[in-house]
């Protein structure tokens, strides 16, 4: 059976708990061990994840939560379904980076409000209107 040991990453386990440093063993595509320091087996593939986030779980590859995440930071119900990673904006429809121009921002909010059937008010009160927001 193929065995892989992912070492030294910051584990985000999808439970909502804070990330923590852990090693993870994967055998046959299944996580079989999570611990602070797992000893490598002979001929086991080892991946050094030092400085990386390790988020085993489903990858939600198409959401429009880039507005919703500002007033629902837990992105419910995705985590409950096992999603640990979200990719936003891959259909060309995204809030980030939020435009500097108030007129363009308002137009973008109107578009999101229409397509997502969300009132404009949460967008106007919850979104960060700084260029730093694109980094978050």
Binding residue count for Zn ion, defined by CB under 5 A:
2
Q: Which of 56, 52, 72 is nearest to 24 (CA)?
A: 56
The distance of closest approach from Cβ of residue 68 to Zn ion in the complex, given in angstroms and rounded to an integer, is 13
The distance of closest approach from Cβ of residue 101 to Zn ion in the complex, given in angstroms and rounded to an integer, is 23
Smaller CB distance to Zn ion: residue 70 or 93?
A: 93
Q: Taking CB under 5 A as the criterion, which residues in 6-65 touch Zn ion?
A: none
Helix, strand or coil for residue 25? strand
The distance of closest approach from Cβ of residue 50 to Zn ion in the complex, given in angstroms and rounded to an integer, is 34
Return the CA Rg of the chain.
Answer: 19
> Using the rule CB under 5 A, is 104 a contact of Zn ion?
no
Task: Give the length of the chain.
Answer: 136
Smaller CB distance to Zn ion: residue 29 or 92?
A: 92
User: What distance in Å separates the CA atoms of residue 103 and residue 91, rounded to the nearest whole number?
Assistant: 23
User: What distance in Å separates the CA atoms of residue 3 and residue 1, rounded to the nearest whole number?
Assistant: 6
Contact pick of 61, 91, 111, 134 for Zn ion (by CB under 5 A): 91
Q: How far apart are the first and last CA of the chain?
A: 39
Binding site for Zn ion (CB under 5 A): 91, 93
């Amino acid at each position: 059976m193929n065995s892989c040991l992912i070492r030294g990453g910051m584990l985000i386990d999808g439970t909502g708990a804070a990330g923590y440093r852990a090693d993870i063993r994967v055998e046959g595509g299944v996580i079989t061990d999570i611990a602070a320091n797992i000893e490598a087996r002979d001929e086991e593939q080892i991946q050094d994840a030092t400085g990386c986030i390790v988020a085993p779980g489903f990858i939600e590859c198409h959401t429009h939560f880039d507005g919703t995440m500002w007033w629902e930071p837990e992105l419910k119900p995705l985590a409950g379904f096992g999603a640990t990673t979200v990719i936003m904006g891959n259909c060309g429809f995204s809030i980030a980076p939020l435009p500097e121009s108030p007129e363009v921002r308002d137009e973008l909010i109107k578009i999101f409000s229409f397509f997502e059937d969300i009132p404009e008010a949460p967008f106007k009160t919850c979104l960060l209107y700084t260029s730093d927001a694109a980094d978050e």
